[in-house]
Structure 1
């Protein structure tokens, strides 16, 4: 069959599928607006079916796999009709009026072969609900469909044809496309190592160490879509939560789940979640001031360590808080008997029995309030049983009740937290300047970022979680999380089910985050954890990845360097520039890239917020439509962007210009920062430097 006739045949098959989808959408009919509950439920089912069909109509499928299942005795059927052509898309579609599948959902068991099969004559295997299925793959084909037309068709495997060097032409084609202002799904190009993570067991804390550009964020989002499909009816989208590093990043990833047909999954930052959990009793100290201060003023790890309160994120601090909470819990039950009137007596032993027996594992303040209510009910019952009708006696008894109950300890999270740093019970191991600053800040209703995990933890221990527990939690950029943060989120689940991802090589918040994944994995039993490494970078060209790896070549930590896919591009350029010509050179470079018209997203990455403000003012004064990224910014608009390096993490750009990679801006302590900046680039990377070149990018040359 010629390429032309093959293209024609597949186009006809696509046309037929689209006609069937259109017909099914037409027959669904209008929405039901009545009050009948059964009809309302049926209407919801019809709308869900329509939603899946609408997804399929945009791009019915992206892959085809011809599969021949072995018979039960292990023999291969000879008849060619036993070879099934499985078309794989974002949503499964059955033929109108029958159970025949026109398209199988990418999350279905059989579709897993499309991602796991890499060629060869050996049988392929997948796990079905009925057990393991074995057979032979005859064809693996990729499609790109746009506007009901097949614009690209690539066969990555044809059985019987001689295989040369394995090169995924379709993957390289997709990687070569330009970026816009949103992260996109990778459902058509999921790689085998990524698919294993997506389909991993639900009831674990899954840790993913992924190098820059390995697709770890996108993999985690696809995992959510898979879990909803695999455990339909047992987990719910509205009980899932994504924790991202900032609001702008949430906007950047906001398109992936809708593209996969998934909605209602919560998305937030740890800070926003904690402030809401605390019912806005406190406000977060301006993160832009804090972040800019550390990255622009403090240059030594010792200063960062001392000033950030890293100890507040430790399990040691959590255990100290537990001791204080245990003391509080022990003091809840009164040790004196309650005598509201002569002849009325409620013993401490009875109150202790109520507290210990009737309220189980409830939160401390919940048990406290229930005990107070139980004492009140006891008094009302006793007054009624003894026939006390005298209003003065009843009033006196109630007054004593109120006085008695008020003496039962009661705390808010903020109130209890302050006692750790101020007063007779203040902790002695906290340096006085930090204790004083914390107490003053909290008294004013303001919390630093490192205070939020302890505050949220205390609140959960005092009052419990007032909303349903999370079915699954995704934590992105987890290398910047403290153990205390993760321990706090554990309280929000009945069964451990987490996807925790990050890159230790991008741990730019070393004053608050972790140095090793064991710091977080050690919080769980070994049987409840899984660990995956994604070392292949799909974002950048070989030249960019090789250059970025040089930046981290002098560092240790056990993380493997990124391995690029075989996609070559322009060499990385480093160029000296004088102070006088620095801004004009930035303008000239960006203007040249814009005039070439080959890039949709360009970023100038500066070292500090002040440097970026200077660059942005100059570029806009020269007539360029540049946007400036700031820490409070909720969205990222694409185009030409000026961004401080510490805010660029997680973003991608077609071309990146590092504004100044001189030694004054990046020394050996800034390796991870510069690595983050360089690995934002997909296709082109250039670094200017004033004064001497940073030794981080000069390591390939002999040192004097």
Structure 2
């Protein structure tokens, strides 16, 4: 009866809201297409309001909080949405933007009758929460009303009911916002101070990527006079992942934030479009069967060239190069006309000392050309002036050529030639790394691990971009070297980072980090903050508990993920006998899950070669499957065939993991991380199949499945 009354109350409020939004849209007026600059600015503001109200019309709000401020007896029903709106008649808030200070109570209040406090710009504001209500409005229709708290009521933790309702929805080919279900631990991260490096260890499915995107939206709202979206960057692991997350910020009303990969960012910085053209599929060998075992990751090229030890080598090289850059001889423009080396050095090392080397070179060249021009102007005879002009210009070109062009790639080659010459003389870079890199560079091969050093050299010699960055998001940061963060720090006025990842998913350990301390050491204690998100919202309890049995093999010492109480089917681990037809089995898995309403289905193979052959076989059988491959720029949903190392960051309703045998998935940490990644992609159903001997990584999961089956029977 109470819920019926609540539903009727919210229906009436929704109708009133639709009318208010429609009236405000009608009152905006027509577009302006003239040339008046002021009118153009006003029109842009009106268009922004029109778009905001149009989005509100489809889904105006998702929550209600009845709040009574202390020392008052008036209860304010606060409706909270993705965007705010004022009442057209009174100017009072009609819908509260989720990023507003008072809206934080909707996320942090978990029950009880004690007074609550939120931080407003004018200081702390206290009061009492009388009602917390979750609302689901889709396409102007009220779908669900859940009271998660009623003062004086039973309050049986119905917040979980609404969360489970959201989590149980089928997924499409895009990541969605979580603004209606942000949890208290996530809200603390989202609203953390701007000038802080947040380092977030998040279990698979903990929502860390979505939290980082919501944090961007919050920073733009809270610090709108200090940050701009065009001065923010999201770095993702690959372009397909960028496509997958592309809809979240626009849905939150945020535009103009650059979303890119570090490789593309460096390519733009160096203005070398074909920089990685001869990369020959960097890192692919690490994902082949039998290659991710007992590797000396500390000595791998990626670990070495992304380390702070290598940064020291770069800085030493830069200092020596700058010290030796200027020729020590006088410049003789023509016979008898000399510009002393001391004057050149004074211009270069004193007057222009505050500039990076490349701008100093340009200024020195311009200064010397001006000197030449003045000396030539003092020659009265046109014929002599012409001859000496020709001579001096030739000598000037030769002088400038001796200075060098300061190209990062050429300097990088020179660095490794220097390291090769110094090997055995206190150089603590492994010989194999130096020699392999020299061979690569002679063939113009630049690998992912070379990008941060190249960027460091370029910035040191050319200076940082004129437009500094306000905030950087680094996703899948366990695969990022420390030097990459140092590169980005020098491109900012003040360090403001959201760094997130999961060490258990560190499948690029040959160029990433082993422990988060490698990053915390890069920031002063008062400007960094470490957080752990252990709650996993993506998968069912059964899937998370199975994945937790793999976690100890990853050698990360991470605690197990904590599943939300969303029970589903047991994980299936099945042996395929020699007589069974593999393709028929896969087709049946796909058909059953499609029939059960699973919108996104992944068939995960061990390698890229396996995936390509499997996808072609399914296509030949009439299955509309899509192959996800290296370098792919989009994810279309539906049925996907994908190598396990490319699944990271994605999620699917149902997952079939193939070839989980003792040969392809050993007990080594890297194999464990790959299987952990593959297993945690599933939202609702997970099945693993093998032939011959099962992987030792599944032993704990098999026992868990058997115990679960015994309990159910």
TM-score class, shorter: over 0.9
Query: Partners of 1:383 and 1:207 in 2: how far apart?
Result: 61
Please say if residues 55 and 90 of structure 1, whose CA atoms lie closer than 8 Å, have aligned partners that are also in contact.
Answer: no
Distance change in 2, residues 1:287/1:168 (3 Å): farther
Q: 1:414 aligns with which of 398, 403, 409?
A: 409
Q: 1:396 aligns with which of 385, 391, 396?
A: 391
Query: Partners of 2:197 and 2:374 in 1: how far apart?
Result: 49
Query: Partners of 1:575 and 1:410 in 2: how far apart?
Result: 62
SS at match of 1:86: strand
Query: Partners of 2:471 and 2:618 in 1: how far apart?
Result: 44
* Deviations 1:152-177, CA, capped at 9 Å, x for gaps: 01010111113345752111110111
Please say if residues 554 and 673 of structure 2, whose CA atoms lie closer than 8 Å, have aligned partners that are also in contact.
Answer: no
Distance change in 2, residues 1:349/1:494 (3 Å): farther
Query: Partners of 2:280 and 2:541 in 1: how far apart?
Result: 34
Query: Partners of 1:5 and 1:251 in 2: how far apart?
Result: 43
Corresponding residue for 1:574?
Answer: 573
Instruction: For residue 141 of structure 1, report the CA deviation from its aligned partner.
Output: 0.4
Corresponding residue for 1:667?
Answer: 666
* Deviations 1:581-607, CA, capped at 9 Å, x for gaps: 1333222222222223x2111111111
Distance change in 2, residues 1:425/1:354 (3 Å): farther
Corresponding residue for 2:359?
Answer: 366
* Deviations 1:400-435, CA, capped at 9 Å, x for gaps: 333333332432001111112337974525566654
Instruction: For residue 557 of structure 1, report the CA deviation from its aligned partner.
Output: 2.9
Tell me if 1:326 matches 2:316: no
Corresponding residue for 2:154?
Answer: 162
> Which residues of structure 2 form unaligned runs of 5+?
704-713
Q: 1:405 aligns with which of 393, 400, 409?
A: 400
Query: Partners of 2:158 and 2:280 in 1: how far apart?
Result: 47
Instruction: For residue 262 of structure 1, report the CA deviation from its aligned partner.
Output: 0.8
SS at match of 2:601: strand
Corresponding residue for 1:74?
Answer: none
1:248-287 to structure 2, matched below 5 A, reads 248-280=240-272, 282-285=274-277
Corresponding residue for 1:534?
Answer: 533
Instruction: For residue 97 of structure 1, report the CA deviation from its aligned partner.
Output: 4.1
Which segment drifts farther, 255-264 or 277-286?
A: 277-286
Please say if residues 504 and 554 of structure 2, whose CA atoms lie closer than 8 Å, have aligned partners that are also in contact.
Answer: no
Q: 1:239 aligns with which of 211, 231, 245?
A: 231
Instruction: For residue 495 of structure 1, report the CA deviation from its aligned partner.
Output: 1.3
Distance change in 2, residues 1:512/1:336 (3 Å): same
Which segment drifts farther, 346-355 or 474-483?
A: 346-355
Please say if residues 302 and 512 of structure 2, whose CA atoms lie closer than 8 Å, have aligned partners that are also in contact.
Answer: no
Tell me if 1:612 matches 2:618: no
Instruction: For residue 310 of structure 1, report the CA deviation from its aligned partner.
Output: 2.6
Which segment drifts farther, 293-302 or 14-23?
A: 293-302
Instruction: For residue 6 of structure 1, report the CA deviation from its aligned partner.
Output: 2.1
1:221-232 to structure 2, matched below 5 A, reads 221-232=213-224
Corresponding residue for 1:525?
Answer: 524
* Deviations 1:164-206, CA, capped at 9 Å, x for gaps: 4575211111011111110000000001111111111111221
Query: Partners of 1:560 and 1:358 in 2: how far apart?
Result: 57
Please say if residues 301 and 433 of structure 2, whose CA atoms lie closer than 8 Å, have aligned partners that are also in contact.
Answer: no
1:128-139 to structure 2, matched below 5 A, reads 128-139=120-131
SS at match of 2:602: strand
Query: Partners of 1:151 and 1:535 in 2: how far apart?
Result: 30
Corresponding residue for 1:471?
Answer: 470
SS at match of 1:549: helix
Query: Partners of 1:244 and 1:672 in 2: how far apart?
Result: 19
Which segment drifts farther, 379-388 or 224-233?
A: 379-388
Tell me if 1:653 matches 2:645: no
> Which residues of structure 1 form unaligned runs of 5+?
72-76
Query: Partners of 1:230 and 1:668 in 2: how far apart?
Result: 47
Corresponding residue for 2:707?
Answer: none
Q: 2:330 aligns with which of 321, 337, 340?
A: 337
Count the aligned residue pairs.
Answer: 694
Query: Partners of 1:187 and 1:700 in 2: how far apart?
Result: 34
Which segment drifts farther, 693-702 or 267-276?
A: 693-702
Query: Partners of 2:333 and 2:265 in 1: how far apart?
Result: 44
SS at match of 2:102: helix
SS at match of 1:655: strand
Q: 1:123 aligns with which of 115, 119, 122?
A: 115
Instruction: For residue 121 of structure 1, report the CA deviation from its aligned partner.
Output: 1.0
Corresponding residue for 2:24?
Answer: 24
Corresponding residue for 1:483?
Answer: 482
Distance change in 2, residues 1:15/1:686 (3 Å): same
Please say if residues 299 and 430 of structure 2, whose CA atoms lie closer than 8 Å, have aligned partners that are also in contact.
Answer: no
Instruction: For residue 556 of structure 1, report the CA deviation from its aligned partner.
Output: 3.8
Corresponding residue for 1:507?
Answer: 506
Please say if residues 137 and 159 of structure 1, whose CA atoms lie closer than 8 Å, have aligned partners that are also in contact.
Answer: yes
Please say if residues 292 and 608 of structure 1, whose CA atoms lie closer than 8 Å, have aligned partners that are also in contact.
Answer: no
Query: Partners of 2:443 and 2:173 in 1: how far apart?
Result: 39
Distance change in 2, residues 1:284/1:400 (3 Å): closer
Please say if residues 278 and 446 of structure 2, whose CA atoms lie closer than 8 Å, have aligned partners that are also in contact.
Answer: no
Query: Partners of 2:501 and 2:140 in 1: how far apart?
Result: 38
Query: Partners of 1:635 and 1:700 in 2: how far apart?
Result: 33
Instruction: For residue 468 of structure 1, report the CA deviation from its aligned partner.
Output: 1.5
Corresponding residue for 2:96?
Answer: 104
Please say if residues 185 and 259 of structure 1, whose CA atoms lie closer than 8 Å, have aligned partners that are also in contact.
Answer: yes
Instruction: For residue 120 of structure 1, report the CA deviation from its aligned partner.
Output: 0.7
Query: Partners of 1:192 and 1:339 in 2: how far apart?
Result: 72
Query: Partners of 1:242 and 1:288 in 2: how far apart?
Result: 26
Instruction: For residue 528 of structure 1, report the CA deviation from its aligned partner.
Output: 2.0
Query: Partners of 2:47 and 2:300 in 1: how far apart?
Result: 54
Distance change in 2, residues 1:404/1:155 (3 Å): same
Which segment drifts farther, 209-218 or 426-435?
A: 426-435
What TM-score comes out, normalization by structure 2 length? 0.93
Q: 1:317 aligns with which of 303, 310, 316?
A: 310
SS at match of 1:160: coil
Corresponding residue for 1:68?
Answer: 68
Distance change in 2, residues 1:58/1:394 (3 Å): same
Query: Partners of 1:602 and 1:503 in 2: how far apart?
Result: 24
Distance change in 2, residues 1:165/1:431 (3 Å): closer
Instruction: For residue 693 of structure 1, report the CA deviation from its aligned partner.
Output: 1.4
